Structure 1
């Protein structure tokens, strides 16, 4: 008798491979818009490619995380050992995949807000609805949960990124509720959030693949996980300053 493959597990594995494939492409697409002048057709087109890829990567990652969190023993059966502690294994799986779920929501919030500020620009009143506020609200809740896990388990990675998530969620809501917006405001919001999504996807790469690539380094592997956030924050600051700070007129000399 031929055993048919489990359709749910087959779908899960298909989504995993699609998530990895598109995610790998997105790591490269992140840099493509930087090759073209800001506002040019090529910049806008490559930016849409990146944003759409990010929507798929974050959306598929969110779906996979929810599936694993609902039934860890079904989707991660290989991690359970006959002589192991099933409860401890389930707890570890749920903690790690809760963090990945948080990263997906962080990325979705960043990309959504980055593209939204370009659409509405100075018409900030359009952002005062659930369409734009749903993602930061979800991000706030997931960040609070990651913060709880970080405090409970003294996990520095969770503590660091929960802070980033909480700040990002509050900052996004405050932006949506502002009474007026200038060009520098929406330009800074676009650059900051699109680069923030890049930080998220590179962090997800190291958080997922880094466990096997850098497992021999012990606690030092945390450096590779946090490095994208540190480097990315510095680059965001420099890029925002470049595009929003007006050039100073040259002083006349005698």
Structure 2
């Protein structure tokens, strides 16, 4: 099992690093251009692979936490390892897959909600909510408040995504905002994973340090807010242009 787990870690690191680098090209670069679309696809494919590898790693940890994390034996209880690197990683993996797929569909299908309501996209919403609840319950059982706090993100993601998918004809600025929210959120998850889960290989105590979780979140939220404001400004300019043209 350890060989399989270590292989998954290596693949997870490669795809995660690819996604982490590709993330910044569409975020910083010109929107809607060929480069934006190209690197956006690279980011989405890399993040989907990263999420799948993390999902497999979390399931193996749930089955046998000590066999998958022998370097933590004697330092942490199996229930702690299963909680942090099993249930919480399972939630983070599903959240990453959810945000990436949802954000990709939002820009690919735009306001065509019929094409956005695919079986996979709809199934990922209750799935991330269920994973978040399982993470929170286990966090409460082992006394890890961080697991409860991170679960709030999963519940909020699933509910807000379902709310948007229920809208019949969203405006251009609405699906653009959802696209930004989801894919920047996926970027937050990959950077958080590298900073928090990745630190367990060097200094395990840092995996639960608030800075490891708050720094990517703060940067990501700032990016989401900035882009949402930019989308609103562009929408207002477009409406003013239409009014002036009709006058």
TM-score range, shorter chain: 0.7 to 0.9
The equivalent residue for 1:196 is: 185
Matched, 1:230 2:218: yes
The equivalent residue for 2:54 is: 61
Deviations 1:78-132 (CA, angstroms, capped at 9, x unpaired): 4334xx8xxx722111101211111111111100000111222111123334221
The equivalent residue for 2:111 is: 122
CA distance in 2, matches of 1:18, 1:218: 20
Q: Per the alignment, do residues 243 and 65 of structure 1 end up closer, same or farther by CA in structure 2, a change over 3 Å counting?
A: same
CA distance in 2, matches of 1:143, 1:230: 21
CA distance in 1, matches of 2:215, 2:147: 14
Equivalences for residues 180-219 of structure 1 within 5 A: 180-211=169-200
The equivalent residue for 1:38 is: 31
Question: Which among 145, 154, 158 is matched to residue 156 of structure 1?
Answer: 145
**Alpha-carbon contact 1:207-1:225 (below 8 Å) kept:** yes
TM-score (norm 1): 0.84
**Alpha-carbon contact 2:25-2:39 (below 8 Å) kept:** yes
**Alpha-carbon contact 2:196-2:206 (below 8 Å) kept:** no
CA distance in 2, matches of 1:79, 1:217: 13
Question: Which among 45, 49, 63 is matched to residue 70 of structure 1?
Answer: 63
Which 10-residue stretch deviates more, 98-107 or 13-22? 13-22
The equivalent residue for 1:100 is: 89
CA distance in 2, matches of 1:80, 1:214: 14
TM-score (norm 2): 0.86
CA distance in 2, matches of 1:218, 1:130: 35
Alignment root-mean-square deviation, CA: 2.4
* Cα deviation, residue 247, structure 1: 4.6
The equivalent residue for 1:4 is: none
CA distance in 2, matches of 1:94, 1:11: 17
CA distance in 2, matches of 1:63, 1:46: 26
- The DSSP-based 3-state class of the residue aligned with 1:122 is coil
> Larger helix proportion, structure 1 or 2?
2
* Cα deviation, residue 242, structure 1: 0.5
The equivalent residue for 2:9 is: 16
* Cα deviation, residue 198, structure 1: 0.6
CA distance in 2, matches of 1:77, 1:215: 13
* Cα deviation, residue 55, structure 1: 0.9
Question: Which among 233, 239, 250 is matched to residue 227 of structure 2?
Answer: 239
Q: Per the alignment, do residues 36 and 233 of structure 1 end up closer, same or farther by CA in structure 2, a change over 3 Å counting?
A: closer
